Amino acid sequence: MPQDRLSANPPERAARRSSRRHAGPSRRAFLTAGTAVGGGLLLSLSLPGFRGMAAEGKAGAAALNAFVSIAPDNSVTIVAKNPEIGQGVKTMLPMLIAEELDVDWKQVRTEQASFDPSLYEGQFAGGSMATPLNWLPMRRVGAAARQMLISAAMLAWKVPQSECATQSGQVRHLPTGRTLTYGVLSATAAKLPVPDLNRVKLKDPKDFKIIGHSIPGADSPLVVEGRPLFGIDTVVPGMLYAVFQKCPVFGGKVASANLDAIGKLPGVRHAFVVEGAAGHAFAAEGEMQLTGLMPGVAIVADSWWRADKARRQLAVRWDEGPTSRQSSEGFARRAAELADKPAEKTLRNDGDAAAALKGAARVVEAAYAYPFLAHATLEPQNCTAHVQGGKAEIWAPTQNPDAGRKLVAQTLGLDEKNIVVHLTRIGGGFGRRLMNDYMVEAAWISKVTGAPVKLVWNRSDDIQHDFYRPAGWHFLKGGLDKNGKLVAWHQHFVSFGGNGKFASSAGMSANSYPAGRVANLFYGASMMPLGVPTGPLRAPGDNGLIFVFQSFIDEMAHAAGKDPLQFQIDLLGGRTVLPGGFDTGRARDVLEKVREVSGWGNRQLPAGTGLGVAFAYSHLGYFAEVVEAAVSAAGRVNVNKVWAVGDIGSQIVNPTAAVNMAQGAILDGLGEALNQKITIDKGRVAQANLDTFAPLSMTQAAPIEVHFLVSDNSPTGLGEPPLPPAVPALCNAIFAATGKRVRSLPVDPKTLRV
Amino acid sequence: MRYTLHVNGGEHTVDVDGDTPLLWVLRDAIDLKGTKYGCGIGRCGACTVHVDGAAVRSCRMPVADVGKSAVTTIEGVGNTPAGAWLQAAWLEVDVVQCGYCQAGQIMSAAALIARNAAPSDGDIAAAMDGNICRCGTYLRIQEAIKRAAKNHSATPAERKGA
């Protein structure tokens, strides 16, 4: 393997080397799990290797499949196949396997897989999909391995299966009380036929000993000791350090640069222009999310500090291109112009919204807007790559290694099979690292220099070269009948795109709620061309749209003179599943529960303090949230408390992680609402660091009560669903506190002054 | 230039430019990767270390200014009582999400509870507000600091009873 030839020392291996237990396969043949075309898992035989672990391990340990290996001392290594971005997947996926394998968690060591589609399906972090996609498949992997261990014990004892049971990593012969540990059985078990994964027996949830119990993060002991785990911590012998200066204007190219002068600066080994290959950089929504190699200047030095310092002497004449004429101000102006014209595209047209508005007893008009947002992962984009002789080895903090490998293969002209991608721990994802621009940059720079290269973006690179949450403008009219019932909804969404297609993450579904619950409803869209790259940010689409929908519903409730929470429940109506999978009953349930836990309607609040409510169906989960906010005379907003109720199905896999994640997502939403805005000026981003693009700080954080409703639905994910309602719940609380409606984000204290 | 630094009780001689921030000397010259780069302008706190016991943003401190001061990083803070209690509390409370900021959080917290045995909410906010957690684990960070401070100032008998 290239990994061994290079004697690489990626953080995952360094950490593993000094951990207490070691496990790995020693056999030549291994059973591997993959997903069949029809969606079911299959186990297949793979010769000779099990690449994720081949380099080390304890003699005698046996791999039962690509996920599970068990050493003679009964220590169990379970592979987590997906990238860990802080969502807890390196703990959660192995929990699913360990539960059905029937071992104690204290026996288990988890290990991050490298990217390897021949062994693992769906190695990505995005869309809150890890739980729904893996809930049954990972459990089946564990159950299959357990069945093989039972079969090995049956052979050893010459007894029928009905006389065998398992517990805590042992098979027990019930009539005699004899036991054999999995560690003793594993070598034999690994040679046995693999059961049909679709027919293995799974536990009754009432017997769960790991699922549903709080398990602390698997890597947390290493994190609190500062051990090297992250992409930015990667060390490869002989590596050089790179920075990459792209044109501040998106799409701009290098006309000339003072490369000779830069090449003579201390420590600088290489300085060169990258022409780029940007043909498919800004893929529209629904297309493959490839990101291209942007043009720029690479500086490669013997230390990162020297490379970044040399950049300050860099003088580039840029050919800025047409995007230099675009600005946030210009977009807002154009959006207002388009608002007065018919929508270019009809997304949905139920009944006759125009006629219903004419006949309405009360009409409310409002214009809403939200800005571009960056991701600002705390670990800046980075990647380490070694490209030589038609092969590449890459250590990448990526949420989407498959797309990254394709991009590198395509851009560098390599065969995908000759590119090894190691998945490092990731210092925050939020959707940013579904794109792999940093990966192709590192690979290209390594190819040109012929050396292993660690590329690290500085924070300005990171803020100014993102795939931004697109800004959006919404022009709404709502109509109430004489009883205060919402009978008309007309919405013109001005977004970005071209040729009738929305830019990435800039779309709106025809099924967006309250569609299906307002008899006369029109959703239309108009699109402006955009040279700024956009992409998914945590709860893409919903992080802006839910602010608009849930704020405007709140406006209509107040216009009707009704309690906003009751108005929401009345609008949901009877229990049914609307097109798009939205279950009005589940939404009602979380709203009713949040009414109860927040004391909605039963609390006396001081002047300048208010409660706001909002809910969302997002990424298969249902969350209703109540925010209590206080607004000072100077317009300063203080969030006093948040109550959140979520329904993500029948089982919370890891309760401690679930509460942590929900609180974090809600605080993320509050940060977007209170602090964050990316401004485009002359085709470039005006903000350059965390002083002008500030994530939520500790003093802005509020206590958050999180409740989960258990429902009879298969478990779904949690990274995204709690975020969207936090934004409108806060804005609705501000209205309750001040009578002032927030229709533009972020919240501007000047508009809230008394 | 050659500089001899006193880091986590050991001596390290490095040959780097004098303006190199302590952060990059720790990470790339001494290979202590626990201290993290986040912003380079002292605004996120991910690079926090102790210099003679005080919490310092190592991205803003040139190596030439460190002199003979004792530098403690996340790799060494577990050898101090405050650091050890904090690391234990961080695990008990299960603070970590992505984990990238947590070294800086623990270093800021360790400087706080080493000088303030019973920090109030206000004390914690004042000491910690410059440490950004992009995942939003603030509520658990506050809880872990309180737990660690309590253990740090307690007698062994009190801890046993807790």
Burial class (CB in 10 A: 0-12, 13-18, 19+), A660: buried
Tell whether B26 and B12 lie within a shared domain. Answer: yes
Kindly identify which residue of chain A lies nearest to residue B40, measuring between CA atoms. A459
Write out the residue range of the structural domain in which residue B37 sits.
Answer: 2-72
Query: Would you state the structure tokens that stand for residue A205, as one six-digit string?
Result: 């949830």
**Quick one: CA torsion of A379, A380, A386, A390, rounded to 10 degrees?**
120
Mean per-residue pLDDT, A100-118: 96
Tell whether B123 and B156 lie within a shared domain. Answer: yes
Please name the residues between 64 and 123 in chain B that touch chain A, using a CB distance below 8 Å.
Answer: 73-75, 78, 86-87, 90-91, 94-103, 106
User: Which residue stretches of A648-722 are H helix?
Assistant: 655-674
What is the SS3 assignment for A346?
strand
Are residues B65 and B24 in contact, defined by beta-carbon separation less than 8 angstroms?
Answer: no
Mutation target to probe the B interface, by most B beta carbons within 10 A, among A13, A305, A455, A723 is: A305
What pLDDT digit, counting tens, does each position of A475-491 carry? 999 999 999 999 999 99
B31 vs A391: CA distance, rounded Å: 28
- A303 with B29: Cβ contact below 8 A: yes
Mutation target to probe the A interface, by most A beta carbons within 10 A, among B28, B36, B72, B100 is: B100
- B135 with A220: Cβ contact below 8 A: no
- A61 — pLDDT class (breaks 50, 70, 90): confident
Mutation target to probe the B interface, by most B beta carbons within 10 A, among A215, A240, A378 is: A378
A62 vs A71: CA distance, rounded Å: 6
Distance from CA of A484 to the nearest CA of B (A): 39
| Fold classified for A2-223 | Aldehyde Oxidoreductase; domain 4 (3.30.365)
**pLDDT at residue A16 in the model:** 36
- Domain finish residue from B52, B72, B92: B72
Are residues A67 and A25 in contact, defined by beta-carbon separation less than 8 angstroms?
Answer: no
What is the SS3 assignment for A384?
strand
Are residues A298 and A274 in contact, defined by beta-carbon separation less than 8 angstroms?
Answer: yes
A538 vs A616: CA distance, rounded Å: 14
Distance from CA of B68 to the nearest CA of A (A): 22
A637: part of which helix (H) or strand (E)? Answer: strand A637-647
Among B119, B135, B28, residue whose Cα is nearest residue A241: B28
**pLDDT at residue B59 in the model:** 98
Distance from CA of A235 to the nearest CA of B (A): 9
Expressed in angstroms, the distance from the first to the final Cα of chain A is 68
Chain A within 8 Å of B21 (Cβ-Cβ)?
yes
Domain ranges (residues) in chain A = 2-223
Tell whether B82 and B65 lie within a shared domain. Answer: no
Question: How many Cα atoms are found within 13 Å in the side-chain-facing hemisphere of B108?
Answer: 28
What pLDDT digit, counting tens, does each position of A685-730 carry? 999 999 999 999 999 999 999 999 999 999 999 999 999 999 999 9
- Domain finish residue from B20, B51, B72: B72
Tell whether B59 and B34 lie within a shared domain. Answer: yes
**pLDDT at residue A60 in the model:** 65
pLDDT of A57 above 70: no
- Domain finish residue from B21, B47, B72: B72
- B40 with A695: Cβ contact below 8 A: no
Tell whether B61 and B127 lie within a shared domain. Answer: no
**pLDDT at residue A276 in the model:** 86
Give the largest CA-CA distance in chain A. Answer: 84
Lowest mean pLDDT among A24-38, A285-299, A421-435: A24-38
Mean per-residue pLDDT, A609-621: 98
Tell whether B63 and B107 lie within a shared domain. Answer: no
Q: Is the dihedral of CA A326, A329, A332, A338 positive or negative?
A: negative
DSSP, res A749: G
Q: What is the CATH number of the domain that holds B145?
A: 1.10.150.120
Rounded to two decimals, the pTM is: 0.93
What is the SS3 assignment for A257?
strand
**pLDDT at residue A41 in the model:** 27
Low-confidence residues in chain B, pLDDT < 50: 162
Distance from CA of B81 to the nearest CA of A (A): 14
- A305 with B17: Cβ contact below 8 A: yes
Kindly identify which residue of chain A lies nearest to residue B107, measuring between CA atoms. A224
- B137 with A226: Cβ contact below 8 A: no
pLDDT of A55 above 80: no
A276 vs B88: CA distance, rounded Å: 48
Q: What is the CATH number of the domain that holds B7?
A: 3.10.20.30
B/e letters for A164-183, b = 16+ CB within 10 Å, e = fewer, are bebeebbbbbeeeeebbbbb
Q: Give the range with max mean pLDDT: A61-65, A248-252, A480-484.
A: A480-484
Mean per-residue pLDDT, A346-367: 98
What pLDDT digit, counting tens, does each position of A389-405 carry? 999 999 999 999 999 99
Residue whose entry in the numeric block shows the structure tokens 């986590």: B8
Q: What is the ipTM of this complex?
A: 0.97
Structural domains of chain B, count: 2
Q: Give the range with max mean pLDDT: A287-291, A360-364, B155-159.
A: A360-364
Tell whether B55 and B92 lie within a shared domain. Answer: no
Distance from CA of B129 to the nearest CA of A (A): 5
Question: How many Cα atoms are found within 13 Å in the side-chain-facing hemisphere of A241?
Answer: 24
Of B20, B95, B139, the CB nearest to A701: B139
Percent of chain A predicted with pLDDT > 90: 87
Lowest mean pLDDT among A9-13, A568-572, A698-702: A9-13
Kindly identify which residue of chain A lies nearest to residue B27, measuring between CA atoms. A233
Kindly identify which residue of chain A lies nearest to residue B101, measuring between CA atoms. A378
pLDDT of A282 above 90: no
What pLDDT digit, counting tens, does each position of A157-189 carry? 999 999 999 999 999 999 999 999 999 999 999
A289 vs A505: CA distance, rounded Å: 11
Kindly identify which residue of chain B lies nearest to residue A10, measuring between CA atoms. B33
**Chain A residues in contact with B62 (beta carbon < 8 A):** none
Query: Would you state the structure tokens that stand for residue B13, as one six-digit string?
Result: 């001689």
Chain A within 8 Å of B57 (Cβ-Cβ)?
no
Distance from CA of B21 to the nearest CA of A (A): 8
Are residues A527 and A559 in contact, defined by beta-carbon separation less than 8 angstroms?
Answer: no
A381 vs A383: CA distance, rounded Å: 7
- A34 — pLDDT class (breaks 50, 70, 90): very low
- A378 with B136: Cβ contact below 8 A: no
Distance from CA of B23 to the nearest CA of A (A): 10
What pLDDT digit, counting tens, does each position of A498-520 carry? 888 899 999 999 999 999 999 99
**pLDDT at residue B154 in the model:** 84
A12 vs B36: CA distance, rounded Å: 17
pLDDT of A98 above 50: yes
A318: part of which helix (H) or strand (E)? Answer: strand A316-319
Output the CA–CA distances (angstroms, integers) from residue A98 to A141, A143, A515, B161, in the order listed.
9, 9, 42, 34
Are residues A694 and A121 in contact, defined by beta-carbon separation less than 8 angstroms?
Answer: no
- B16 with A663: Cβ contact below 8 A: no
Averaged pLDDT score across all residues of chain A: 90
Tell whether B82 and B42 lie within a shared domain. Answer: no
